[in-house]
Amino acid sequence: TLTVDSTGRGATIDRTMYGVFFEDINRAADGGLYAELVQNRSFEYDPADNASYTGMTSWAPTGGAGTAQVVDDEARLNERNRRYLRMDLRGGEYGIANSGYNSGIRVEAGKLYDFSVWARAESLPLTVSVTDPAGQPLTDMLRLQVRGDRWAKYTGTVRARSSSTTGRLTLKASGTGTLRLDMVSLFPRDTFKNRPNGMRADLAGKIAALKPGFVRFPGGCLVNTGSHYGYTAPDWERKRSYQWKDTIGPVEQRATNANFWGYNQSYGIGYYEYFQFAEDIGAMPLPVVPALVTGCGQNRATDDPALLQRHIQDTLDLIEFANGPATSTWGRKRAEMGHPAPFNLTHVGVGNEENLPNEFFARFTEFRKAIEARYPGITVISNSGPDDTGATFDRLWELNRGANVAMVDEHYYNSPQWFLQNNQRYDSYDRNGPKVFLGEYASQDNRFYNALTEAAYMTGLERNADVVKLASYAPLLANTDYVQWRPDMIWFNNHTSWGSTSYETQKLFMTNVGDHVVPSKASATPTTVAPIAGAIGLSTWATSASYDDVNVTAANGSSLFTDDFSGNDSRWTKSGRGSWAVSNGAYVQSDQAAENTMVTAGDPAWSNYDLSVKATKLAGR
């Protein structure tokens, strides 16, 4: 029975409560949200980014009399965009073709595509078109004449004659001489809001349709890159930490970088584009800067006071870039990029998932002091590490609470059972302590059931909207051909995109944000969960239980998985707070009140079956 107190008034729900978290993971930016169709446009791919890369990744000569070579020499375009393609022509026609992302470059009949390239040569004709893999034209041909052995930008537009998802951007020169090319670019004219250097309309449109209250960016572990690779590398060097100043200004002057997630990132979507996008979709921008401690598979803290001060100054400069007058040093840069008005930044996250609580908090405190002194109106967000519980989590919360931090970023990725069993998580949070920013969470799969458990959980967030002020599912985007992390909210390839069931849950909540909670009570809350495909719960227990002989059987009766717990428990993982062990040929689970869950490591093929689980509870234990 559900009892609703229709005249009562629970917590006020902020309009910004539900937002999105964009991280460049799963090729979410280049080959994803960033509408650029050319992969490795500035020939900067390098084995240091990914062992499979060369400077010619995604490029191939089309044949003819000549050579094409990626070089890094004094003739470079600029100090941060150091490599370029040198083509030596020996008479006749010679060219190169780019295969874009996924199966190729997508063009749609009748649509316009804007081409640009930086080039230099004494004088050489250059033709540009999109062809199919066999070289047959899919678009009109653009004819350019490169004149002058100084770098200059050449531009033009082609119209698609037919549609394809396997196009190749083909550039051909003819004659004799040297042609240098860099920043070879092709954008669909129809970007989101028709912005130049813009975003893919379908993906940005799907995010906009959520009507998110905020956009957290750019990571995630992405902002911790420096902890892995060093914070001190020169600004053109690969494997440098993600630093916002690298990502603004003319795109041809932005260095590319080794992405934390194992690929090259162009920074074509940089801080200006993030702020602009947030404004375009009516969301609050919420950047996260590195705190020089990590997290994310490493436990390292950078001990360099000068470096720390530089990063703190960079954060102050970031706030000036977002909010300062167009006459200020960094506000001027924003104005020069096309946005004289401020972006109204109100929140900044410092750090992501730090595993060294004391080291992190010492550095966080320095950031906080400097930011609050200069910009008292800015909310500085701390975090509670990578887990929903545990010693690091507890210590970080203790430090955050003790210092009266305004808001703490929590992250967790758990089983669907966990989400059902933890609906009350925030009921007991201190109403006078730091507020919660649930910056990353997901139920671990992309099935309907996961979305349902997320929806159930979100009712608990909403009921506690006086404590949980912001919440975002993670990750947001995944290119089906380059997946590092799943589940994800929106999936795409080079020509189409679709929302997961979790997308629909998020949309339901984000597009229906209430003004306040209406108090309600259920007379019983289900605490056990029926086993489902891919996640098998032994869900009936009292305080402590032992199980033996787990048999997982498909609907047709065939046996998929058995375990008699004769000693090897490596097939099982657990989530939750309780403890478990294999003892005397039985699986023994204790501390049930703290909601433990066990799941098998999972066999994807099981998703094809209706599963049933049978566990024998041992008598007398």
Distance in Å, CB of 528 to ligand AHR, minimum: 29
Q: How far apart are CA 226 and CA 228, in angstroms?
A: 5
Distance in Å, CB of 222 to ligand AHR, minimum: 6
Which is nearer to ligand AHR, 158 or 356 (by Cβ)? 356
Closest CB to ligand AHR: residue number: 220
Q: How far apart are CA 100 and CA 103, in angstroms?
A: 8
Distance in Å, CB of 578 to ligand AHR, minimum: 23
Backbone angles phi and psi of 390, in degrees to 5: 105, 175
The closest alpha carbon to 109, from 137, 133, 135, belongs to 137
For residue 215, the number of C-alpha atoms closer than 13 Å in the C-beta half-sphere is 25
Binding residues for ligand AHR (CB under 6 A):
23, 25, 219-221, 352-353, 386, 411, 440, 474-475, 485
Rg of the chain taking only CA atoms, in angstroms: 27
Classify 439 in phi/psi space as left (phi over 0), alpha (psi -120 to 50) or beta.
Answer: alpha
Reading the block at residue 173, the tokens are: 């020169």
Q: Which residues contact 262 (CB under 8 A, 6 or more apart)?
A: 49, 50, 484
Which is nearer to ligand AHR, 219 or 576 (by Cβ)? 219
Q: How far apart are CA 459 and CA 509, in angstroms?
A: 9
Q: How far apart are CA 345 and CA 378, in angstroms?
A: 8
Which is nearer to ligand AHR, 212 or 475 (by Cβ)? 475
Is 273 part of the annotated catalytic residue set?
no
Alpha carbon separation from 319 to 187, 203, 328, 380, 408 (Å, rounded): 30, 28, 11, 12, 20
Which is nearer to ligand AHR, 22 or 113 (by Cβ)? 22
Reading the block at residue 476, the tokens are: 């947001």
Which is nearer to ligand AHR, 31 or 475 (by Cβ)? 475
Which is nearer to ligand AHR, 37 or 442 (by Cβ)? 442
Distance in Å, CB of 277 to ligand AHR, minimum: 19
Report yes or no: 57 and 72 within 8 Å, Cβ to Cβ.
no
Q: What is the dihedral of CA 529, 530, 531, 535, to 10 degrees?
A: -40
In eight-state DSSP terms, residue 549 is: E
Place of tokens 């049930």: 592
Distance in Å, CB of 479 to ligand AHR, minimum: 15
In eight-state DSSP terms, residue 241 is: P
- Is the bond preceding residue 100 a cis peptide, omega within 30 degrees? no
Catalytic residue among 23, 353, 359, 410: 353
The closest alpha carbon to 319, from 293, 287, 291, 290, belongs to 287
Which is nearer to ligand AHR, 485 or 561 (by Cβ)? 485
Q: How far apart are CA 547 and CA 510, in angstroms?
A: 42
Distance in Å, CB of 349 to ligand AHR, minimum: 11
In eight-state DSSP terms, residue 405 is: -
Reading the block at residue 240, the tokens are: 């440098």
Distance in Å, CB of 290 to ligand AHR, minimum: 12
Distance in Å, CB of 474 to ligand AHR, minimum: 4
The closest alpha carbon to 138, from 102, 113, 173, 172, belongs to 113
Which is nearer to ligand AHR, 23 or 462 (by Cβ)? 23
Which is nearer to ligand AHR, 23 or 246 (by Cβ)? 23
Distance in Å, CB of 217 to ligand AHR, minimum: 11
Strands, E assignment, 137-282: 142-159, 164-188, 214-217, 257-258, 264-265
Place of tokens 């404590």: 467
State whether residue 448 is helix, strand or coil: helix
Q: Which amino acid is at 457?
A: Y
CA 147 to chain centre: 41
Q: How far apart are CA 289 and CA 352, in angstroms?
A: 8
Q: How far apart are CA 49 and CA 137, in angstroms?
A: 33
Distance in Å, CB of 398 to ligand AHR, minimum: 21
Which is nearer to ligand AHR, 100 or 218 (by Cβ)? 218
How are beta strands 112-131 and 142-159 bridged, if at all?
antiparallel
Which is nearer to ligand AHR, 162 or 484 (by Cβ)? 484
Distance in Å, CB of 223 to ligand AHR, minimum: 8
The closest alpha carbon to 419, from 459, 390, 386, 381, belongs to 459
CA 503 to chain centre: 15
The closest alpha carbon to 114, from 60, 47, 168, 36, belongs to 36
Q: Point out the residues that are catalytic.
A: 353
